[in-house]
Amino acid sequence: MRFICKYMTTLFFILIIALLAECVKEIKPTMNIEEKVFGKTADGIPANLYILTNSNGMEVKITNYGGIVVSISVPDKNGKFYDVVLGYDTLEEYTRDNPYFGCIVGRYANRIAKGAFMLNGVEYTLAQNNNDNHLHGGIKGFDKVVWNAEIVRRDEEVGVKLTYLSVDGEEGYPGNLNVTVIYTLTDSDELKIDYMATTDRDTVVNLTNHSYFNLAGAGLGDVLGHEMMINADRFTPINANLIPTGELRSVEGTPLDFTRPETIGSRIDADDEQIKFGGGYDHNWVLNKSGEELSLAARVSDPATGRCMMVYTTEPGIQFYSGNFLDGSSRGKKGSVYHKRYAFCLETQHFPDSPNKPEFPSVVLKPAETYKQTTIYRFSVK
């Protein structure tokens, strides 16, 4: 009798534990997307905030103003979640003086020398909004417009589809350009960005995302201790105006060699002409790849928190910018101050100034073609 009693009690406890385990499974978050009002631009155009969550608890906030990634919350090695991208709390701050935090950059990411290029024998002139160069699409680029937004739900994925028509002549570029950008959060802790564009006249296109990452947590310090690997044997050296010279130079023996993981800070102030021109790292690396396949471009990790990010892209280049122009002048989320090198950007792209460099992979889009690019930022812990 005593044996049966003991047996029944054990069985009872096993049953309770199994039931509790089921409940925990039940309350585990599932993939979700929520839409909220974020505010209105100075012209009175409303913009929303999309809050994407996956079943591991990863959360990404995106606004259709500038297609900006407002926050990415991922766990550290102890399971503690924190936001790893710089930005602001309100739409109003994004519309004021934003150094391209989190946005979609277009029609042409990075610089076009002297704000001019020739296409089919015609010279196009663009705004010189960065000394005498054109930067990130001009005065009102894709980062400063309100995109149309639509929620997308698929198995194991939630996303936001953004569309924008950039009219012929906008910011000086030819052709009506229909642009689609789809942000997707997957259950494998990836933020996937699919870009597409079509035109009705020959034009140039180079789109990217300009998130400023800090894997230790946005606003919590600099990124000099992060370890960076860039899958590139060559880079495009720049002149003093940050314009590529046209050369593809080997990284070997230079502070730009990240073929094996190196901390961002170890050579950032090296006595090297390229480092001086960039004020640190502000260069385009030529990715090791055979074509337009989706391939590993970079891997970054923060040894202190264990957070790790892999970047995959179909693009031929990646701009690694070490936040050299951040100067603590603007207050970010929760009042935090973003000082020099408090973040890094990894902007997947075609090479800067390609419209003036026929030797670089072409950025010309013709009416019969579709511009396509995919980039994935995958998060994990070490």
Determine whether 210 is an active site residue.
Answer: yes
Q: Which residue has the tokens 């102890």?
A: 78
| Three-class DSSP category at 59 | strand
Pair 20, 145: CB distance under 8 Å? no
* Distance, CA of 206 to CA of 350 (rounded, Å): 6
281 lines the binding site for ligand BGC (CB under 6 A): no
Beta bridge partners of 62: 50, 69
Q: Provide, rounded to whole angstroms, the least separation between the CB of residue 110 and ligand BGC.
A: 6
Q: Which of 48, 64, 301, 319 contacts ligand BGC by CB under 6 A? A: 319
Separation between Cα atoms, residue 53 and residue 197, nearest integer Å: 27
99 contributes a contact to ligand BGC by CB under 6 A: yes
What is the closest distance, in whole angstroms, from the C-beta atom of residue 126 to ligand BGC in the complex? 16
Task: Rank residues 83 and 282 by Cβ distance to ligand BGC and give the closer one.
Answer: 282
Binding pattern for the stretch 228-257 against ligand BGC, x by CB under 6 A and - elsewhere: --------------x---------------
Amino acid at 65: Y
Q: Is 82 in the site for ligand BGC (CB under 6 A)?
A: no
Sequence-ordered alpha helix ranges (H) in the chain: 2-27, 91-96, 273-278
Residue 345 is encoded by which pair of tokens? 């950007």
| Chain residues 329-348 in contact with ligand BGC, contact rule CB under 6 A | 345, 347
- Minimum separation from the CB atom of position 280 to ligand BGC (A): 10
Exposure b/e, 297-323, CB count within 10 A at least 16 = b = bbbbbbeebebbbbbbbbbbbbbbbbb
Within 8 A by CB and 6+ apart from 202, the residues are 119, 120, 174, 175, 364, 365, 366, 367
| Maximum alpha-carbon separation in the chain | 99
Q: Can residue 265 be called a binding residue for ligand BGC (CB under 6 A)? A: no
Q: Is 282 a binder of ligand BGC (CB under 6 A)? A: yes
21 to 12, 27, 28, 182: CA distances (angstroms): 14, 10, 11, 36
Rounded to a whole number of angstroms, the minimum distance from the CB of residue 324 to ligand BGC is 7
Residue closer to ligand BGC (CB basis): 98 or 301: 98
- Least distance in angstroms from the C-beta of 319 to ligand BGC: 5
The answer to whether 347 is a known catalytic residue is yes
Q: Cβ closer to ligand BGC: 73 or 319?
A: 319
Among 173, 281, 321, 360, binds ligand BGC (CB under 6 A): 321
Told to check if 100 binds ligand BGC by CB under 6 A, we report yes
Provide the annotated active-site residues. 210, 347
User: Which residues are near ligand BGC by CB under 6 A?
Assistant: 99-100, 110, 242, 282, 319, 321, 325, 345, 347
